[in-house]
Structures are given as structure tokens and as C-alpha cells.
Amino acid sequence: MKYYDKLIFELSKPGRIGFSLPRPADRQQLPFGNTATLGTLRGGTASEAQRWGPKDVSEGQAAAGSKVCSKVWREAPLDLPEVSEVDVVRHYTNLSQMNFGVDTGFYPLGSCTMKYNPKINEEIAGIPGFAGLHPLQPNETVKGAFEVLVGMDKALAAITGMKHFTFLPCAGAHGELTGLMLMREYHMSRGDTARTKVIVPDSAHGTNPASAAVCGLDIVVVKSKEDGLVDVEALKGLLGPDIAGIMLTNPNTLGLFERDIKQIAELVHGCGGLLYYDGANMNPLLGMVRPGDMGFDIMHLNLHKTFSTPHGGGGPGAGPVGVSDKVLPFLHIPRVSGFHGNFGIILRAYAYILMLGREHIKLAGKFATLSANYIKESLKDCYKLPIPSVCKHEFVFDGLLDDNGVTTLDVAKRLLDYGFHAPTIYFPLLFHQAIMIEPTETESLETLDAFIAVMRKIAEEAKTDPELLHGAPHNTPIGRPDETTAARQPVLKYE
Amino acid sequence: MLERIGVGSMDDLYADVPADFIYKGEYDLPSAMSEQQVRDFFESLASKNTRLKVFVGQGAYDHYVPSVIPYITSRSEFLTAYTPYQCEISQGTLRYIFEWQSMICRLTGLDCANASMYDGPTAAAEAMRMCVASAKRRNSVLVSARLLPNVIETIQTYAKYAGINVVVSDTVFEDAAEGVLDLAGVIVPSINRFGVIENHLGLADLVHEMGALLVEYCDPSALAVVKSPAEWGADIAVGDGQSLGIPLCFGGPYVGFMACTAALMRKLPGRIVGETTDASGKRCYVLTLQAREQHIRREKATSNICSNESLMALWCTVYLSLMGPEGMRRVNALCYEGAHYLHDALLATGKFQRVFDADFLKEFCLKPLCPVHKLQKALLDAGFFAALQTEEGYVTFCVTEKHTREEMDRIVEIVKSI
């Protein structure tokens, strides 16, 4: 990767343009933006000045009696970059070359499920018969789009054991929020208004407590035991008539299957609460275990994790929410986004499911689990493995066994030098030096072995040359940034 | 691999899962399709949709998409990256987010912007939450009834569970002055759902006197020519980036934007990118002010937002780069001319009455004097999606730079024949 130090604003030259648009007819009629330069600009198609016919415009305006008043029009100048098309293309191509994606290399980012994103899915989403649909078109003109939603609903129901899904949520956390709204609707419909608390394990994703807070719920934390699983005895003490439900990730963020789930479900249901399934960790259960069968009432899926749609540098994703019979009557209530959710993402995920089909779906989760356990067992003599049991899609090391002052951050940064993305680090919060590794099912044995070899090499370097690691990365476009200054004296825009 | 793990079979990896939870049935899914079959399947579904000439806006605008954009956004280095946690190998993502934030600041005139929100309506709902979080012991937000219905509904949804009191009002000026006791914020559309460019002169002063914040809901494309939120004195600006060249795509993915004054910077939800340097002094970009966020603050975070709509923010950033100030003015000029041409021609048919005598840009509404269903059906039969009915019984039209005079003349002919 090559360092490229430009912002698009710095390429700007007055009068340069990157667009190709017809010319407006008669600038004199416009109440805004009269600029002297317009007539001299290149880039407009052959004179379109007569397109509307100035006569019509003036007559029309007279007929309409429209009063052109300046009160509502912008007076402040609009300082956008003035660049040519090739400037734009080169600039963003150069920027892209400072980026690492799944297509660049192995991306073992824990809890993020960075599996390969099949290219056919992108083409499907670009089919003009979908991409050109206005969201408010009459139903009879969007039958194919509705068939996509109905088919996807059916497929997700089959995969998860839930009854039906809503596709409005645009991301995982958005799905959590929607699911908690449904939890509240369920209790409110029964007049059970005292249920204002939701139980969240201490190992939960940060979005769980944050979503609960946005939904107006109070959070009660249930501790994990030494073996990393929810402490059922502690849970019993928290249950009561004020509990709306529990949010669980299963397997949890340590990659461990909550084996007491049956008892947890009985306890929570017994106290009148509901079970919410955080689908961020659904991948190892894909084709193996259905959340609906475990007793979950509400769940979300991250289509951008389990169902292979690209993460786009932080979205767009999609977080459809599924419910059991019990919660179904409320599914239509929360209006959490503008139209039909991220339809383009749903298309991609549907294509993925159809290519897996009923034959191959049973392999996806299994291979993800196989990869994770293989890495775990191959590195546990160099990295501290706090919980040795069989994991699912991911697992957590707690730093190096023989750290010699080398931190998890150092290890992560050194991995970048070797052409791998770093794992998730310092999460979950249960361990001080957490390294959370999730390889997914789409990596070959050779890739896993190459990663293992590099992780072992880094462990060696930690013993022999810790300074090398403290200073890593060395081969990336930039070195470690000064994050303190960034936060203390924020520069958030180009000036 | 199994040997190294020390298990006998793949199924042993699931030995900790209670046996009755292992799904033993056949999944009720279609048989696996080949690439060709998937392509055919979706092509056949797409053919069941009707491609129409879209003369409706209402939050989703059929602007021209410059051909450069999808080429850039489909570069896999952008497309297949995660949130830029490892900044040393994510400078591409971080830089375009910084550019996006800068452009949103320039369009809105405000001081800082975040990396993106899900869409316009959710950005408005988050703005409502910001108003209440910024106010002391004030819990009511006044929401203009002239916002798009899906914006109002999304705000109401978020408010319902958070226990925020939302007052939807058609008389915002009056109610801001006296109608609401514990006012924390006022949300108004820059251009309302009837297409009218609203005059908010004096509103910010009024709202600030009441100790509340003013939120402007804007169409970012139109901000090139209509008064910016900063010019109206707003504290927060939100809206949907879709009008910046994002395809309609049946409603998503789009991208919400949010900008605010410097005073509110640390109340912003979501990701924010900031500029700094590395150890050797090279300029670089990082996710910053993370002490607001869910992965640090958990339930005390300003919002639960994590994944946002990063790639769509890139989409809009490339669009604005290509357009520049002159392109943005030209798009709006074409919209304005087209919309006024159609508006006047429709009125001249005698089949409509004017509803508002006010400035409009690309969207307008009229009161039909003919049966609306007949009108819509005739337009639909000719391949036009136009004359969408509002709850008041008006019909709305929207004209963009994509539309030709011939298409509009055809619409007028159809109207005359009703």
C-alpha cells in the first residue's frame, strides 16, 4: 500500500468540472445561483437553451403569478471541489489503495464475520428492474420486489425457526432496537407496564445495552462464570415482575455456546419475560441450530455478516428482525426507517441463500466452527487461552503467553505488516488483553496455516525484539496515529 | 484439522449443544442454484416489476447517476472493508468519510458532521434524541406536520419507547412560542412534503428564546440553492443523502446525514472521523471522539448506532466531487425549470387548482379537479408514476434533470384526456 496524501478539496481548480448535464434554458428566469461563468463552461451537451423554450417559461410564470422572492434562496457560497472526471477517478482509486478489504486478504475480525462476498450478488442488486423502482410505486408495479421480500422472509424463517421477519432495520444495532420495541409492545399489550428492565450479560456486544437504553429500558447486567457462560444462579436472582426480557448472543462473544439455554429460556419465560437473540454471532449456527427452537421470541440477523453482503467500510448492512408466534401480532408496529429497509442488501443476501440452497447450508456454520477451532488449537501454546473448551465461530486469546511487555495492540499492529487484517482487540471486556479471532468458513487451509505461522512468528519476535512490535506497523501507508490529539483538538472537516 | 483440534468428527464440534437443538430436518429452502440460475431467477422477478418514468419525490428522488460512481464504490477495497478500526490500513475509508463530513458541513453551513446515519427519517429521530439529551429536564419536541409522513412516523416510533413527548403541529411558529411547556427541540422541513420551500425567518430566535434547539430536515441536493440550515440559524441539520445521485432501489440503501454546531459536537451519535498525524508527522485520519459510542459507553452512549451507511456516504461524496458548485446549481436549475414548466402546464389544463402560492424547486402539489384514481391509472398506463396523492387529497409531482419536455408534454396530454 502506497501513502497518498490528498483530499479532493486540494485538487480543486476554479472552473474545472466533472459533470455532464444539459444546459438550463434561461438563467434570467431563475431566482438563484446566477453566475457569470456558466455560459463559458464546457461540459453541457449541445445547446439546450431552447429545450423548454424561454417563451413558455415566461408565459408560464406570468400565468402562475409566481413571486420570485429571495427570502428562501441560499446566499452563502457553496464551496465544493471543482475537479474533472479523471481527477475524481484517480483520487478515489488512490484512496482505495490505502484500504484493506476481504478481497485483499484474510480478515479475522471477531464478531464481524468477514466472509467472502460473492460478486454475483452485486450484479443482482444492480439489475435495473430493481434499482430503478421508486419505493412508493403502486403495488401492482412492484410485484417482483415483493416476491423478493416474501421469498426472503420464508427463507429466513426456515433458517432460524422464527415465524416472520420485518426488513425495515438497516443494521444489526437497528435490529436490536426494533426487537426491543417489539418486546415492549408485547408487554404493553398485556398491560404489563412494570417490565422496564432488560438483562444483558457482561460479555454482550456494546450495542445491546446501548439499544436497550435508546428503547427506554434499564439494563441489568448478569455476570459470566469462570467458564465464560452465563451464571444461571445469578440470573435467577435478577428475575422478577420488572424484567422485560434478556438479550443473549449464542454462541456468546467468547465463541462459546450457552449450553444452559434451555434452562435460561424456561427461567426467563417463567418470570414473564421474553428472550432476544442477538444474531451477530449466528454464523456457526447457520445450518445447524435454529434460534426459534432454543426458545427465542425475537431475533435479528446481520445480513452483512451471516449472509455474505459486503460491509462497505461500515455499512450499508441490513438487520431484519424475526419473531415467534407470540410476538407476531406486533411485528408491523415499529416504523423504524423510511421505506422498505435496505432492499439492495436484501437482494444480495437472498442471492447468497439461493446459491447455498438446502444442500449446502448445512456446511456453512460447521466449516466456520472448524476453522476457528483449528486456529485456536494451533496457537494456544503461544497465546494465553483463558477458556480452553471447544469454541464455535470465534474464540478469545488473552494476549501472549510470554508477553515480554508486548501488548495485544502490538500484536495486532504487527499483523498488518504481514498482510493480514487484525482480529478484534480489547473486546470482550472480560479479559484485559483480548484478541478475538473469527476466521469464517470461506478461508482455505493454506490461508489459515499462513495466518497461524505469522502469529507464531510474532510470538517469537515478542521474545527477541519487542521494540519491533511496539513500533509496528512498519509497512503500512501510515504508522500509529496520535489519537489523543485527534480527540482533544478535533479537526473534523477540511478548511 | 480435526486431528489437531482433537475431535473425531465435525459433529463433535457441536457436542456442547443440547442434542434436541441440533436441527435434523431438511431446511425448507430451494435446491442450490448455479450462478446462471440465480441470474435467471432474479431477472424473471425483475421483469414482474414495471419500470416507470418517476415523477414522484416524497423522499426519494430520481436524479441522474453519473457513471463514475458505481465504478468507484464497487472497488473491493472500499466495498469489502469493515468499519475502519485499523486506521493504518483503512486510510481510504477514513479519508472519504472526512471528505463527506466536510461536504455536509459546507452544504448545511454547520460546524461538524458525523460519518452517516441509516437514512433521513432515522437521522431525524436521532436529532430528536439529541435535542432532549442536550436540554435539561425538557422532554418535548415540536415536529412540523409538513415533514414527510415517514419522517414523522419514524420520529414518533423512537419517541414512543424513549418516553419523549412529540407534538406534531401545523403551526410551528405559534406553538414554539407558547404551545409547548418543556420544549427541547423543534424539527421543521427546509422543503416540506408539498414541495414548498419554507420561510423560517425568525424561527431560530424564537426556538432559542424558549431554550430549545432548531433542527432543519433538508434535501441535500436542494441545499445548493435554498437557504442552508446555518442561514436559518438551526443547531442541527439532518436529511437523506439519496438525492445526491443514489439510485431509487425501492427505498434503500440510502444514507442519512447529520450536522450540528460546534457546541453540540460531543452529543453527535455515530462514527466521527478526525484528522491527526502519525509518529513521523504524516497527516492521517482516525475514528475519534469515541467516548460517545456504544462500544465504549455501552448504555450511556449517545446512540446505539454502529454500522451506518459508509459506502453510500462515499457514493454521495463522489457525486458532489463530480458535480462541484456549478453542477449542483445546474441540476437545481434544470429541476426548477422542468418543475415550473409542468406545474404551469398542468394548471393550464383546468384540471387542477393551485394549493400554495409559494416558492418551490422540483416538487409541487396541486388540488385535482378530476377523479384521482382515473388520473393515476391513465398515467400509469402510459408508463408514468406521477400524481401521488397526499392525505389531504392533493396530488404531488416531482421533476428532475432526467425528465424531458416530451415526457412532460405527454403527461399534460394524458391529463387533458381525463
A262 & A305 share domain: yes
B36 in Cβ contact with B212 (< 8 Å): no
Residue A343 lies in a domain: yes
Q: Is the dihedral of CA B345, B346, B352, B353 positive or negative?
A: negative
Strands A274-279 and A243-248: parallel
Contact B276 A481 (CB under 8 A): yes
pLDDT score for A46: 34
Q: Which triple of cell numbers denotes residue A448? A: 489459515
Contact B88 A416 (CB under 8 A): yes
Ramachandran class of A191: left when φ > 0, alpha when ψ lies in -120 to 50, beta otherwise = left
Residue A241 lies in a domain: yes
pLDDT score for A25: 72
Contact A378 B4 (CB under 8 A): yes
Chain A's closest residue to B333, CA to CA, is A24
A41 & A135 share domain: no
Contact A8 B39 (CB under 8 A): no
More confident residue, A47 or B100: B100
Condensed to tens digits (0 to 9), the pLDDT of residues A77-106 reads 999 999 999 999 999 999 999 999 999 999
Condensed to tens digits (0 to 9), the pLDDT of residues B348-401 reads 999 999 999 999 999 999 999 999 999 999 999 999 999 999 999 999 999 999
Span B325-335, mean pLDDT? 95
Burial class (CB in 10 A: 0-12, 13-18, 19+), A358: middle
Residue A263 lies in a domain: yes
Q: Which triple of cell numbers denotes residue A334? A: 415499529
Residue A51 lies in a domain: yes
- Domain end residue (candidates: A15, A50, A72): A72
Residue A195: give its domain's CATH number.
3.40.640.10
Q: Is the dihedral of CA A283, A288, A293, A295 positive or negative?
A: negative
B397 in Cβ contact with B366 (< 8 Å): yes
CA proximity to A338, closest of B345, B221, B243: B243
Strands B236-240 and B213-218: parallel
Question: Which residues does chain A have within 8 Å of residue B254's beta carbon, measured at their own beta carbons?
Answer: 338
CA proximity to B239, closest of B167, B150, B168, B369: B150
pTM: 0.95
Question: Which residues does chain A have within 8 Å of residue B308's beta carbon, measured at their own beta carbons?
Answer: 171, 314-315
Give the Cα separation of B160 and B157 in Å (integer).
5
Residue A91 lies in a domain: no
Question: Which residues does chain A have within 8 Å of residue B17's beta carbon, measured at their own beta carbons?
Answer: 257, 259, 288-289
A297 & A156 share domain: yes
Backbone angles phi, psi at B204, to 5 degrees: -60, -45
Per-residue exposure over A173-204, b if at least 16 CB sit within 10 Å of its own CB, e if not: bbbbbbbbbbbbbbbeeeeeeebebbbbbebb
Say how many domains are in chain A: 3
Ramachandran class of B197: left when φ > 0, alpha when ψ lies in -120 to 50, beta otherwise = beta
In sequence order, what are the residues at sequence separation of 6 or more whose Cβ sits closer than 8 angstroms to the Cβ of residue B98? A7, A492, A493, A494, B273, B274, B275, B285
pLDDT score for B92: 98
pLDDT score for A39: 35
- Find out whether the peptide bond into A466 is cis, omega within 30 degrees of 0: no
Could you report the predicted ipTM of this complex, rounded to two decimals? Answer: 0.97
Distance from CA of A463 to the nearest CA of B (A): 24
Give the Cα separation of A280 and A198 in Å (integer).
18
A282 & A328 share domain: yes
Q: Which triple of cell numbers denotes residue A121? A: 450478488
- The helix-helix angle for B372-381 and B405-417 (nearest 10°) equals 130
pLDDT score for A70: 63
In order along its 495 residues, chain A shows pLDDT tens digits of: 999 999 999 999 999 999 999 887 765 568 886 443 333 333 333 333 334 333 333 333 333 333 444 689 999 999 999 999 999 999 999 999 999 999 999 999 999 999 999 999 999 999 999 999 999 999 999 999 999 999 999 999 999 999 999 999 999 999 999 999 999 999 999 999 999 999 999 999 999 999 999 999 999 999 999 999 999 999 999 999 999 999 999 999 999 999 999 999 999 999 999 999 999 999 999 999 999 999 999 999 999 999 999 999 999 999 999 999 999 999 999 999 999 999 999 999 999 999 999 999 999 999 999 999 999 999 999 999 999 999 999 999 999 999 999 999 999 999 999 999 999 999 998 899 999 999 999 999 999 999 999 999 999 999 999 999 999 999 999 999 999 999 999 999 999
CA proximity to B224, closest of B404, B103, B49, B62: B103
- Domain end residue (candidates: A357, A372, A395): A357
Q: Is the pLDDT of residue B342 over 70?
A: yes
Give the Cα separation of A80 and A99 in Å (integer).
25
A204 in Cβ contact with A213 (< 8 Å): no
CA proximity to A136, closest of B363, B315, B238, B410: B363
Residues 166-225 of B with CB under 8 A from A: 197-199, 201, 223-225
The SS3 of residue B238 is strand
Q: Tell whether B99 is within 8 A of chain A (Cβ).
A: yes
Give the Cα separation of B52 and A10 in Å (integer).
41
- Domain end residue (candidates: A340, A357, A374): A357
A385 & A243 share domain: no
- Residue whose entry in the numeric block shows the C-alpha cell 435539561: B136
A351 & A206 share domain: yes
- Residue whose entry in the numeric block shows the C-alpha cell 425448507: B28
Q: Which triple of cell numbers denotes residue B363? A: 416538487
Give the max Cα distance, chain A.
Answer: 85
Residue A108 lies in a domain: no
Contact B46 A369 (CB under 8 A): no
Give the Cα separation of B145 and B153 in Å (integer).
11
Residues 250-289 of B with CB under 8 A from A: 250-255, 265, 271-280, 282-286, 288-289
Residue A445: give its domain's CATH number.
3.90.1150.10
Backbone angles phi, psi at B137, to 5 degrees: 50, 40
Q: How many alpha carbons fall within 13 Å on the CB side of residue B161? A: 32
Q: Please list the alpha-helical segments (H only) found in A247-334.
A: 261-270
Contact B23 A290 (CB under 8 A): yes
Give the Cα separation of A109 and A316 in Å (integer).
18
Condensed to tens digits (0 to 9), the pLDDT of residues A359-412 reads 999 999 999 999 999 999 999 999 999 999 999 999 999 999 999 999 999 999
Q: Tell whether B155 is within 8 A of chain A (Cβ).
A: no
Residue A92 lies in a domain: no
pLDDT score for A27: 52
Strands B183-189 and B213-218: parallel
Residue A249 lies in a domain: yes
Query: Which CA distances in Å does B194 have to A60, A134, B147, B360, B366?
Result: 20, 18, 9, 9, 9
CA proximity to A455, closest of A398, A387, A378, A388: A378
A349 & A412 share domain: no
A289 & A158 share domain: yes
Question: Which residues does chain A have within 8 Å of residue B318's beta carbon, measured at their own beta carbons?
Answer: 88, 92
Query: Which CA distances in Å does A351 have to A152, A356, A457?
Result: 9, 9, 40
A314 & A405 share domain: no
Contact B89 A122 (CB under 8 A): no
DSSP string, A127-151: -HHHHT--TTS-GGGBHHHHHHHHH
- Encode B299-332 in three state secondary structure: HHCCCCCCCCCHHHHHHHHHHHHHHHHHHHHHHH
In sequence order, what are the residues at sequence separation of 6 or more whose Cβ sits closer than 8 angstroms to the Cβ of residue A61? A29, B340, B344
- Find out whether the peptide bond into A473 is cis, omega within 30 degrees of 0: yes
Contact B50 A140 (CB under 8 A): yes
User: Which structural domain range is residue A277 located in?
Assistant: 119-357
CA proximity to A60, closest of B284, B61, B354, B370: B354
Distance from CA of B247 to the nearest CA of A (A): 6
A318 & A346 share domain: yes
Count of residues making up chain A: 495
Q: Tell whether B77 is within 8 A of chain A (Cβ).
A: yes
Condensed to tens digits (0 to 9), the pLDDT of residues B112-146 reads 999 999 999 999 999 999 999 999 889 999 999 99
- Residue whose entry in the numeric block shows the C-alpha cell 450495542: A207
Q: State the DSSP H helix or E strand holding residue B217, giving kind and residue range, or none if neither.
A: strand B213-218
A406 & A321 share domain: no
In degrees to the nearest 10, what's the CA dihedral of A69, A70, A73, A75? 170
Q: Which triple of cell numbers denotes residue A330? A: 406486533
CA proximity to B267, closest of B138, B399, B112: B112
A351 & A369 share domain: no
